[in-house]
Amino acid sequence: MTTTNDNAARMTLRIAGVLQEIRDIWAKRLDVYYTQIESLVDGQWLDTEDVIGIIRESRMASREALDGLGGDLSAELVHTSNGVVARYEAERLSFVEEINDLRDEISRLLSGDENAMRRENESFKAVIDSIPEFNLLKVIQRGRRTDYKQLSEDTGEKKSALRKLVKELMRKGYVNIDKKSRPHAIIYLCAPWTQKEHQAQMALDGPKPESFLHAEIERR
């Protein structure tokens, strides 16, 4: 694949060659014309009218040469330029095709990533739903602050069972217990499904609450 500089250099050399070729052609034509004039007047006496006629013919020949030179040069330049433009257009179309192929490939890869993420999210949700303390954490998350009596009413579970689950959630850093309040308040802190950067890892390896707690502390 050629570059713009390569094309410009080649076109410059081509134009230089065209100029030289056309100049040589018309120089030969003028030489032939003046040779013919010399042969006509060789050994003859010329009057003023004859000299004027020769000058007029010479001027017309020179003008014809210049006009022909300009016409040939213009035609050749147009032809050469059209060739360069055609090659440039072909390269441009090739670039456009490559760009479109890359876009299609990127779209395909992104679609695959979205499908993989969707499957991971579904697996993650299944893991969450299978763990009792996480089901309880969803209830606590909705209220943000609650107590054992309210939790028992919301879940239908006994307080003794709830205390074990809350203790486990507290150990993992998802909730805190305000023991200064009466009754003791259960305060929501965070949940594994709110930590987007760990969703894929949670879906495959199970929850790692300590890292979530650190992230929550740093965010606060």
pLDDT in tens, 136-190: 898 999 889 999 999 999 888 898 889 999 999 999 889 999 988 888 899 999 9
Q: Over 80: is that where the pLDDT of 35 sits?
A: no
pLDDT of 43? 57
Q: What is the pLDDT of residues 61-103, one digit of tens each?
A: 666 666 666 666 666 666 665 665 566 667 767 767 777 777 7
Position 207, amino acid: P
What pLDDT band is residue 132 in, cutting at 50, 70 and 90? confident
Q: Where are the domains of the chain?
A: 4-120, 131-219
Rounded Cα–Cα distance for residues 75 and 79 (Å): 6
What is the rounded (10 degree) CA torsion for 127, 131, 133, 138?
40
pLDDT of 211? 44
Which residues face 178 on adjacent strands? 185
Residues 14, 80 contacting (CB under 8 angstroms): yes
Rounded Cα–Cα distance for residues 132 and 88 (Å): 67
What pLDDT band is residue 38 in, cutting at 50, 70 and 90? low
What pLDDT band is residue 203 in, cutting at 50, 70 and 90? very low
Which CATH number does the domain 131-219 belong to among 1.10.10.10, 3.20.20.70, 3.10.20.600, 3.40.190.10? 1.10.10.10
Task: State the helix-helix crossing angle for 132-143 and 159-171, rounded to 10 degrees.
Answer: 90
Closest CA to 70 of 13, 14, 19: 19
35-49, 174-188, 194-208: range with lowest mean pLDDT: 194-208
Average predicted confidence (pLDDT) for the chain: 70
Q: Where are the alpha helices (DSSP H) in the chain?
A: 4-41, 48-129, 132-143, 148-155, 159-171, 199-205, 209-219
- Write the CA distances from 142 to 81, 151, 188, 193, integer angstroms: 73, 11, 9, 14
Largest CA distance in the chain: 141
